[in-house]
Amino acid sequence: MAKLRIGAKALPFNLPGVDGTNHSLEGYSGKDAVVVIFSCNHCPYVRAWEDRMVKIQRDYASSGVQLVAINANDAAKYPEDSFPNMKERAREKHFNFPYLHDERQEVARAYGAERTPEVFLFDKTASLRYHGVIDDNYDDPTAVKVNYLRDALDAVLSGTPPETMETKPVGCSIKWK
Amino acid sequence: MKVRFLYSEDCPSHEEALRRLRNVLEEERVAPDLEIVRVDTLEEAEKERFPGSPTIMVDGHDICPTQNSHYAPACRAYVLEDGRVSPLPSVAMIRDAIRAAKENLKSTVKNR
């Protein structure tokens, strides 16, 4: 389980993005919700879910929601997860959110992330309100029964606690150095 | 028929993949020599030429041949019939490979 507990404050980060600029948590302080997703290139679970990540950002952008994807995988052992390949993936899939490189793996370790994808949803006070999976069906988007992240976002934006605050992340393990 | 099921414990899709494989074998009424191989280290992955978990080999052939020559104990991405990416081979992929192996066996026996 993640080190960060429900209700805990978001931990600061400042990481290079595929857009050529650095992104910090502080930079999103005006947002009503920030969704940090530990992600990567090579993992088929991420690839199964990434169109849904793009759609969530699109659907919730006007409500003050910001998705941020962070790749902490060791690119020496998993070359598909290198920074140049991250740039390529973001371009290919038309990512509408920052895709950041946690090369030293410090942010992933600080958050206690273990899987990709793994979601941490923070409200406007930067408190963790939901942690876990995006929804309940990685394999088939048409067969999703529970949209955990969307439901949690709806709750957070309306100022109420999400019905489900934690689910077990499902995906590839983060590839540590 | 010889079937090898290679997987990494770290990748959660292997249980469902093995369930699909067993179901197909039952449906196709095939009782192969089924070998289940766990691959957890880079060294093991290189030795097995393991492109990711799960990998199913039928009579020495990958059910979904890949150009990927990076061998690692990671999850494997399958491109499904409808273009979606999944950590699991589809039932159709497994079934097609088993049926092809059955046909090969039949023609080998016939030609003897």
pLDDT digit string, tens, across residues A101-113: 999 999 999 999 9
Contacts of B87 in chain A (CB under 8 A): 43-45, 48, 138-139
Q: What pLDDT sits at residue A2?
A: 67
Span B29-58, average pLDDT: 95
**Total domain count for chain A?**
1
- For chain B, what are the domain ranges? 2-110
Which of A77, A80, A173 is opposite residue B10, by nearest beta carbon?
A173
| B75 interface with A at CB cutoff 8 Å | yes
Residues of B in contact with A42 (CB under 8 A): 74-75, 77
Please report which confidence band the pLDDT of residue B112 belongs to, taking 50, 70 and 90 as the band edges: low
Task: Flag whether A126 is in a domain.
Answer: yes
Question: How much is the pTM?
Answer: 0.92
A11 in a domain, yes or no?
no
Q: Which domain holds residue A57?
A: 28-173
Q: Class for domain B2-110, per CATH?
A: alpha beta
In a domain, A97, yes or no: yes
Assess A84–B contact: CB distance below 8 Å, yes or no: no
pLDDT of residue A3: 80
Q: Is residue A132 included in any domain, yes or no?
A: yes
Check B87 against A77: CB less than 8 A apart: no
Q: Nearest CA to CA, how far is A6 from chain B (Å)?
A: 25
pLDDT in tens, A67-118: 999 999 999 989 999 999 999 999 999 999 999 999 999 999 999 999 999 9
Tell me whether residue A36 is in a domain: yes
How far is B12 from A169, CA to CA, in rounded Å? 11
Q: Which of A136, A172, A174, A177 to mutate to test the interface with B (most CBs of B within 10 A)?
A: A172
φ, ψ of residue A142 in degrees (nearest 5): -80, -10
* Cβ <8 Å between B11 and A172: yes
For residue A126, the number of C-alpha atoms closer than 13 Å in the C-beta half-sphere is 11
- The CATH number assigned to the domain holding A100 equals 3.40.30.10
Inside any domain, residue A113: yes
* Torsion angle in degrees (nearest 10) through CA of B98, B91, B86, B68: 10
Q: CA nearest B76 in A: which residue? A: A44
| Neighbour-count burial for A31-69, b at 16+ CB within 10 Å, e otherwise | bebbbbbbbbbbbbbbbbbbebbbebbeebeeeebbbbb
